[in-house]
Structure 1
Amino acid sequence: MKNSSFIVMLMACTLFCVQPSKAQKITENAVAGSFPLFANGKAATLVYDTADAAVVGIAAKAFGEDVRLISGITPGIVHKVQAGVIPVIIGTLGQSGLIDMLAKRGAIPVAAVKGKWETFCLTVVKKPFADVDMALVIFGSDPRGTAYGVFELSRKAGVSPWVWWADVKPRQRSALYVSTGAHVTGPPSVQYRGIFINDEDWGLQPWAARHMDTDIKDIGPNTYQKVFELMLRLKANYLWPAMHPCTKAFWYYPGNPEMAGKYRIVLGGSHCEPLLRNNVFEWDHNFEHEYGQQPGKWQYDINQEQIDRYWRDRVAASKNNDAVYTVGMRGIHDGGMPGPASPEKKKALLETVIANQREILSKGLDKTAADIPQIFCPYKEVLELYKLGMKLPEDITLAWADDNYGYIRQLSDPEEQKRSGGSGIYYHLSYWGAPEDYLWLSTISPSLISYELTKAYLLQARKLWVFNVGDIKPAEAELQFAMDLAWDVEAWRPEKAQLYMEQWAAATFGEEYGKQIGHIKKEYYRLAATGKPEHLNRITFTNAEAAQRLADYQQLVKATRQTGQAIPQYLQDAYFELVAYPVEAACNMNEKILYARQSLALAAAGNPRALTIADSAKAAFANIEKLTVQYNKMIAGGKWDGIMDWHPRKRPVFQMPETATPEMLRDSVHISAGDTLTAPVVIPAADYISKHDKEAPLRVIEGLGPGKAGLAQWPMQLTSYSDTEAAPYVDYKAPVHTGENKITVKCLSDFPLYTGMKLRYAIAVNGQAPVIKNIASLAETKSWASNILKGYAAGETTFNSDKEGMVSIRIYLLDPGVVINSIELN
């Protein structure tokens, strides 16, 4: 009997126990056993159970529209499998009767999906039902997983996540077939993967008021519906909503949280918005309307009762929404928490605030506090309070922040890594603040994003990653990279990240354009690494550096235009939005600033070319506005009118700088316009002669930091060396002059991994004793501000030589996190 039972089980598994296989291919030609998504003028019918979550139906309908865009055929959508049809069956385990029926029969690989976070499977099933020959089944472990599976099929079919948000229209096909097999995707590397819509005053808010939510003239449900669909297409799940004074609070419009519920978006609030409250509107402007009385001071030690009530009401309102609650307290907006003057007393008050917030959450949601997702973001001054030894319940996720410019200030130390709540990251792709904004163009490279976030992942920051994306546009490519990385951190590790834009361009514009556009984007990031367009008025370049920079940008514009001429007409709008506008606008900003400076120098030297160069600066300035008018008024038939502002906050860098005039030429005293210093000898860090890295491998990472690459300890070992004997090192050869030579080692402007660590290298010239340099700067300091603007931190040493010739330079990397970009000798 035992043998017979075993044989029956084996036969059952042979028939029904489907095992996951490699990813399906989608082709335009049928192969044996493949599933016809559409062919011969007919599309497969989409089937989902109405008892399933609303987001499943939303995804199915969006997929039907995607099929129409590709094929011109609108697929039918039904809720029961009908005899004789070829169906795409979409549903969630445990929530879809159709999926559960297939699971019960063993027709789908349930074990590979069940109980996992946001995991999905795409599988072709033969004879799923007696009167159906075959079906393509998309099922998820939870409703978001199902939606991700549907949109993954869209991506595979050639529909970009930016099909609406950047007008990336798909290529027309006459037929598409899905190959056989079952492929499981998930769970994601990071549990909560989100965006923060921020500083929306000059783009998203005026655009939404004009085009999307015209009844309320604000960012409302119609806008958020498009945001939420984009998030699902990017496999994102978490939102910090727009919250500037120009925008009413997310919860002010009931349709906003209702829409989030339908799309299964997890709601949150930024570092200064505890328990989902938007203080800048709800406390400062709407409190009297909501409560019939004026608000007292936003100060917990003297106004606890009113503040607690304010928090309790929002927690109660949020009970039916998925949420991750920010705990703690800052000022009304982006400022320090009011209260005691003493840091110790302020820390104690913050501990009280959090204890009371957890009680509010527990009572309001009928759960124990430890079962409610919460984050604490030690942002800016809050980090200093946390460092004083603040007591924080261990189930709260520590959301570490970058310095607003892409470099993470601090990560969890070995003890913090043991916290049950884990840690996460708040990371900027856009920023308003000191030392200077970058709200206009998005220029943080995939290599830097990957290096910082993979490092964070290594130190257990795996619970939550949220990205400040400003108005979403124009950070499309960078946001997609960030979300792809958050979904699968192994896919785009730092050593691979430089290849991402080529792959992205091929998927967005076609395989034939991948290499060209990938190169354009790499150069765009490389040039911005030593001076963002918004920072140029605060950076000094030598004449040689400025000339090379202008030549490189102009060559980049030439390549962008040449490639643009070949792009198909139906993708021209997308190309302008995603490639041409940022490249040409960045070039024009460099021309405006650098030509203006050059014109003044030439005028001072009495050179009549000054006026011609001044005209070039003015033409560049005019072209920025012209390009922006094109973006707002002409692209996609005016769809984006109001989304792009070429001078957000009207910062000085956006104004036309002073240029040479005929009067200056007449009054010149013929001062030399040349550089006063000899150009340095520059040795890229990648050009080492030899290396010693048995204990800690050293790797060249392309696109990381200024120049073309950075040299880093990678894979990162978490070992610091107290001396140089065991440390990894690289050797260089360099020319020196007789007398004193200054040696500058330019490095990534980063921070030590966590409290107690440093960021040191050591340098030895011609066998002399190594000199140790710590290149770390504290955020918000003068040296940090200088580093951020010019794009690097540097250590300097001197070497006295009694003759001209070549010397050996050995550089030891003593701490993890040090990235060397170049060695310069003056």
Structure 2
Amino acid sequence: MKAYTPIWLFLTFFIIFFSVPQLLAQHPVIPMSVSENSTPNAFPLVINKKTAAIITDSQDAPVVQLAATALKQDIQLVTGSSPEIDTTGVVRAQCVIIGTLGQSQLIGKLVQAGKLSIEAIRGKWESYLLTIVKNPFPGVQQALVITGSDPRGTAYGVFELSKMIGVVPFHWWADIHPERRRALYVSNGTLTVGSPAVKYRGIFLNDEDWGLQPWAATRMDTVIKDIGPVTYERIFELLLRLRANFIWPAMHECTKAFYHYPDNPKLADQYSIIVSSNHCEPMLRSNPFEWKVNFEKEYGVSPGEWRYDTNKSRIYRYWKDRVQASGKYAAIYTVGMRGIHDSGLPGPKDKAGKITLMNEIIADQRDMLREQFGDATARQQIFCPYKEVLDLYQAGLKLPEDVTIVWPDDNFGYIRQLSTPQEQRRSGASGIYYHISYWGAPHDYLWLSTHSPALISYEMTKAFHFGADRFWVVNVGDIKPNEMETQFFMDLAWNVGKWSPMQAAKYSYSWAAEIFGEEQAAAIAGIKDRYYLLAQHGKPEHMRMLQFDPIAREERLRAYTLLIYDVEQIKRRLPVRLQSAFFQLVEYPVKGAAYMNQKELYARISLEKEQMKNVQEAQYYSRKAVNAFDSIQILTDYYNHNLENGKWNGIMSAAPRKLPVFNMPPVAGGPDTTTVPKNFRKYIDSIPGTFIHTPDTAAVQLKEATSYIACRHLPGDSIKRMPGLGVGGASVSRYPFTGQSFSEASYQDAPYTEYRVSLSAGAHIVSLQCLPTQAIHAGRRLGMAITINGQPPIFADINHQEEDRLWQVNVLRGYAEATAPVTITYSGTAIIRVYLLDTGLALNRLIITPR
């Protein structure tokens, strides 16, 4: 009798056989490591002060040579020994061979001889592998081979080795001095890293007036006194170390245009960094300088008005000239048009007229590209429906299919809209413009970086699930002090699945371990996580717009006092080589936020005590407020003038844009400039913010959303706990984000969570606090259905897409709120069930209050 293989077993083998290589490429197991001690068949990179030679092909891309030079410097930084670099192809007994498929003869020979398998990366985007090859060539005992599917992939592979020996991406930018090692052995094995999840990944240098530009002018590009090639060289290397591939250059009026300095685009080309332009700078132009300041010098005539309907000829030529000048470089072109600097499209007053004009503008821009490259689709193009442009797009603006839509967030980390099913079928796909730094209403946050990995992951993973996998850009402001958040954004863009919303809160530990070591990682991660949670309730820069009740205020002050204490304890335990890094990455942001809160809150307490005629306590709190203000100045002065012998002089401002929140507020008994106004209550009420209330009675109950006693999942649509997300410190949400929406009529079919509370008979208010997100796209909401003890449901929808007073309140206080009046017929245990009708809704906590 014949034996037949069960069909299920055959299918299982088929799926595993064909899926595992892809999974390993995207989520690689890393058997390769670096140690000071030799292991069997390990490659001796450095031993007895002798270093393996670095071999490249002179015909390979410039970025490969630059990465090889950086590796040489990294090895010397770690061991004190400097390897030789040879571009003639002459190999040594022990050598590191670096090269790109199709561009390096050495790599080609290894492949042809069957000594290097490259099938895992062949033809892929920015993929790379590291492997040890025995006897690769006559006279060569071993070679550590680093190869990429393209030049950037090769560079990424080189910097992967740098990380393995202890040189992390921000090592220069945050003075993370690596531990010295007497030897470096690379363990035998192969590391293969497949293509990134997101094709184009980059940063936007923005609002550089108070940090990056003055620092660059005085410490880097001192001849031109501006952000120029010396500064950009450091930035481009950082991008490669972060596995990023494009940049939106700095463009404020304080900075001359990127293309004004010819060495800038040449340098970007050498580093294989793609140059693009931001949402309000079409066709690689930079209007604040090139149109407003330099046009007449460039063309010999005045620019005229920035209006395409009345000044088309000059604007057209202005754009076309840049297309021609940039044609030899890799570029991503922004199409469309806005005001000269982040304002609405000038021209027709009515929306229909603006749409007609915008369609004409985009058609003309495409003609320029067609003339230059022979095909309008030959270069990547993006369209960013930012602010008022989103209204035009929603009202019927026609966009070519191949143009990538780059959806913006609301400037505070919550994405305004994502692609509909129809938009997801566009060949141009979509991307995201995201902020971790912002200048604008209701208030800037340019000073400190306070978006948690949990929040970034929630929003960006949601975007990825809805097709935003073509282009991610993050507004990093001055780069510093946004180091950790920038690195997380890039790590997420490379491998979205690794740092899902369920896992993102663990990033702080991973990051701290990489920089400060496993021994201190848990304590440092705990500090960062508490810092993010406090900022979710109110960013340091927003303290002048927020009011806290006495209980919330005391809890906040206590939490910051403990943070300062913990920072000091860890600082004492760190070696000297990590002190500068700890100051920049942990101490300055944590203490800065703490002192800002102390300054504002102690000042208000002092005024309250003065109103109560309690003179001694009023003076006590006045002094504490003044001390906190002074501490910010001292901390910032140290950053600029003492840290690393003045390396960062000018990079940090204690008062970006000199906004009132950075000043000393009124205090009791202060000098004339700070004395309490005669009408104290009128002064407090004039603070244009929102009130943060803490339940303070035994009758009020607070339930964290993650404390549910039961929940219901659907197939492929689960309720997930998401640590670190929202004001409660954790949230529940449906996952994946592509689950269906449920109507009010079908609410009982939706996933839900259930909570047990003890309530007295009578009327109550159930408040549901949620992350202040926005509905995913048209046709979706952020709806909930609330039932208590099986009574008929109460429906709520927290979706609010108008940037009005309610939106301002929500983003400042860190949550949106829905309330449901309920009546309890008898005292005792009550069961509250919350149906989550839509995805993208993150429930933080429930508060039940008698009424």
Q: Please indicate the TM-score interval, normalised by the length of the shorter structure.
A: over 0.9
| Residues 312-338 of structure 1, C-alpha deviations (whole Å, 9 max, x = no match) | 100011011101100000000100001
Contact conserved, 2:727 with 2:815, CA < 8 A, in 1? yes
Report the Cα distance in structure 1 between the residues aligned to 2:306 and 2:831, rounded to whole angstroms. Answer: 61
Report the Cα distance in structure 1 between the residues aligned to 2:679 and 2:468, rounded to whole angstroms. Answer: 59
Query: What amino acid is the match of 1:713?
Result: R
Report the Cα distance in structure 2 between the residues aligned to 1:113 and 1:55, rounded to whole angstroms. Answer: 19
Name the stretch that deviates more: 458-467 or 803-812.
Answer: 803-812
From 47, 56, 69, the equivalent of 1:48 is 56
From 459, 462, 468, the equivalent of 1:461 is 468
> 2:489 maps to which residue?
482
> 1:389 maps to which residue?
396
| Residues 564-611 of structure 1, C-alpha deviations (whole Å, 9 max, x = no match) | 111110110010000000001100011111111111122212223122
Q: The residue matched to 1:588 in structure 2 has which SS?
A: helix
Report the Cα distance in structure 1 between the residues aligned to 2:463 and 2:677, rounded to whole angstroms. Answer: 59
Corresponding pairs, count: 806
Report the Cα distance in structure 2 between the residues aligned to 1:157 and 1:369, rounded to whole angstroms. Answer: 45
Contact conserved, 2:465 with 2:738, CA < 8 A, in 1? no
> 2:622 maps to which residue?
614
Contact conserved, 1:742 with 1:796, CA < 8 A, in 2? yes
> 2:15 maps to which residue?
none
Give me the CA root mean square deviation.
2.1
From 569, 572, 579, the equivalent of 2:579 is 572
Report the Cα distance in structure 2 between the residues aligned to 1:795 and 1:140, rounded to whole angstroms. Answer: 52
Matched, 1:232 2:240: yes
Query: What amino acid is the match of 2:148?
Result: G
| Mapping of residues 302-321 of structure 1, within 5 Å | 302-321=310-329
Deviation at 1:655, TM superposition (A): 1.1
| Residues 679-701 of structure 1, C-alpha deviations (whole Å, 9 max, x = no match) | 44321111112112234311110
From 580, 598, 608, the equivalent of 1:591 is 598
Report the Cα distance in structure 2 between the residues aligned to 1:676 and 1:362, rounded to whole angstroms. Answer: 61
Matched, 1:765 2:788: yes
Matched, 1:418 2:425: yes
Deviation at 1:182, TM superposition (A): 2.1
Residues 1:573 and 1:420: Cα distance change in structure 2 (over 3 Å): same
Report the Cα distance in structure 2 between the residues aligned to 1:686 and 1:669, rounded to whole angstroms. Answer: 41
From 807, 810, 817, the equivalent of 1:787 is 810
From 236, 260, 270, the equivalent of 2:268 is 260
Report the Cα distance in structure 2 between the residues aligned to 1:279 and 1:368, rounded to whole angstroms. Answer: 26
> 2:21 maps to which residue?
none
Matched, 1:450 2:473: no
> 2:330 maps to which residue?
322
Report the Cα distance in structure 1 between the residues aligned to 2:676 and 2:500, rounded to whole angstroms. Answer: 54
| Mapping of residues 289-688 of structure 1, within 5 Å | 289-364=297-372, 366-607=373-614, 608-661=616-669, 678-679=696-697, 680-688=700-708
Deviation at 1:389, TM superposition (A): 1.7
> 1:716 maps to which residue?
737
Deviation at 1:799, TM superposition (A): 2.2
Listed as ranges, the gaps of 5+ residues in structure 1 are 1-18
TM-score, length basis structure 2: 0.92
> 2:830 maps to which residue?
807
Report the Cα distance in structure 2 between the residues aligned to 1:459 and 1:428, rounded to whole angstroms. Answer: 19
Contact conserved, 2:121 with 2:148, CA < 8 A, in 1? yes
Report the Cα distance in structure 1 between the residues aligned to 2:91 and 2:655, rounded to whole angstroms. Answer: 60
From 150, 153, 157, the equivalent of 2:158 is 150
Contact conserved, 1:760 with 1:774, CA < 8 A, in 2? yes
Deviation at 1:372, TM superposition (A): 1.5
Query: What amino acid is the match of 2:751?
Result: P
Report the Cα distance in structure 1 between the residues aligned to 2:56 and 2:729, rounded to whole angstroms. Answer: 50
Deviation at 1:170, TM superposition (A): 0.6
> 1:8 maps to which residue?
none
Deviation at 1:106, TM superposition (A): 1.8
> 1:7 maps to which residue?
none
Matched, 1:27 2:35: yes
> 1:57 maps to which residue?
65
Contact conserved, 2:29 with 2:191, CA < 8 A, in 1? yes
Contact conserved, 2:246 with 2:273, CA < 8 A, in 1? yes
Report the Cα distance in structure 2 between the residues aligned to 1:662 and 1:718, rounded to whole angstroms. Answer: 58
Structure 1 segments (4+ residues) deviating >3 Å: 19-22, 80-84, 662-671, 675-680, 735-740, 800-806
Report the Cα distance in structure 1 between the residues aligned to 2:431 and 2:714, rounded to whole angstroms. Answer: 31
| Mapping of residues 164-183 of structure 1, within 5 Å | 164-183=172-191
> 2:798 maps to which residue?
775
Contact conserved, 1:202 with 1:643, CA < 8 A, in 2? yes
Residues 1:509 and 1:175: Cα distance change in structure 2 (over 3 Å): same
> 1:749 maps to which residue?
772
> 1:127 maps to which residue?
135
Report the Cα distance in structure 1 between the residues aligned to 2:196 and 2:444, rounded to whole angstroms. Answer: 32
Report the Cα distance in structure 2 between the residues aligned to 1:345 and 1:718, rounded to whole angstroms. Answer: 38
Query: What amino acid is the match of 2:771?
Result: L
Q: The residue matched to 1:389 in structure 2 has which SS?
A: coil
> 1:817 maps to which residue?
840
> 1:691 maps to which residue?
711
TM-score, length basis structure 1: 0.95
Residues 1:281 and 1:806: Cα distance change in structure 2 (over 3 Å): same
| Residues 486-525 of structure 1, C-alpha deviations (whole Å, 9 max, x = no match) | 1111111111111111011111111211111111111111
| Mapping of residues 83-232 of structure 1, within 5 Å | 84-232=92-240
Report the Cα distance in structure 1 between the residues aligned to 2:670 and 2:280, rounded to whole angstroms. Answer: 53
Q: The residue matched to 1:386 in structure 2 has which SS?
A: helix
Report the Cα distance in structure 2 between the residues aligned to 1:308 and 1:532, rounded to whole angstroms. Answer: 43
Residues 1:817 and 1:682: Cα distance change in structure 2 (over 3 Å): same
Report the Cα distance in structure 1 between the residues aligned to 2:296 and 2:738, rounded to whole angstroms. Answer: 55
Contact conserved, 1:29 with 1:176, CA < 8 A, in 2? yes
> Percent identity between the aligned chains?
49
Deviation at 1:738, TM superposition (A): 5.3
Query: What amino acid is the match of 2:80?
Result: G
Residues 1:676 and 1:147: Cα distance change in structure 2 (over 3 Å): closer
Contact conserved, 1:431 with 1:470, CA < 8 A, in 2? yes
Query: What amino acid is the match of 1:529?
Result: Q
Report the Cα distance in structure 2 between the residues aligned to 1:276 and 1:204, rounded to whole angstroms. Answer: 21
Report the Cα distance in structure 2 between the residues aligned to 1:625 and 1:237, rounded to whole angstroms. Answer: 37
Query: What amino acid is the match of 2:439?
Result: W
> 1:274 maps to which residue?
282
Query: What amino acid is the match of 1:712?
Result: S
Report the Cα distance in structure 2 between the residues aligned to 1:253 and 1:114, rounded to whole angstroms. Answer: 37
Contact conserved, 2:402 with 2:429, CA < 8 A, in 1? yes
Listed as ranges, the gaps of 5+ residues in structure 2 are 1-23, 685-692
Q: The residue matched to 2:503 in structure 1 has which SS?
A: helix
Q: The residue matched to 2:102 in structure 1 has which SS?
A: coil
Contact conserved, 1:205 with 1:219, CA < 8 A, in 2? yes
Contact conserved, 1:604 with 1:665, CA < 8 A, in 2? no
Query: What amino acid is the match of 2:661?
Result: V
Report the Cα distance in structure 1 between the residues aligned to 2:726 and 2:329, rounded to whole angstroms. Answer: 41
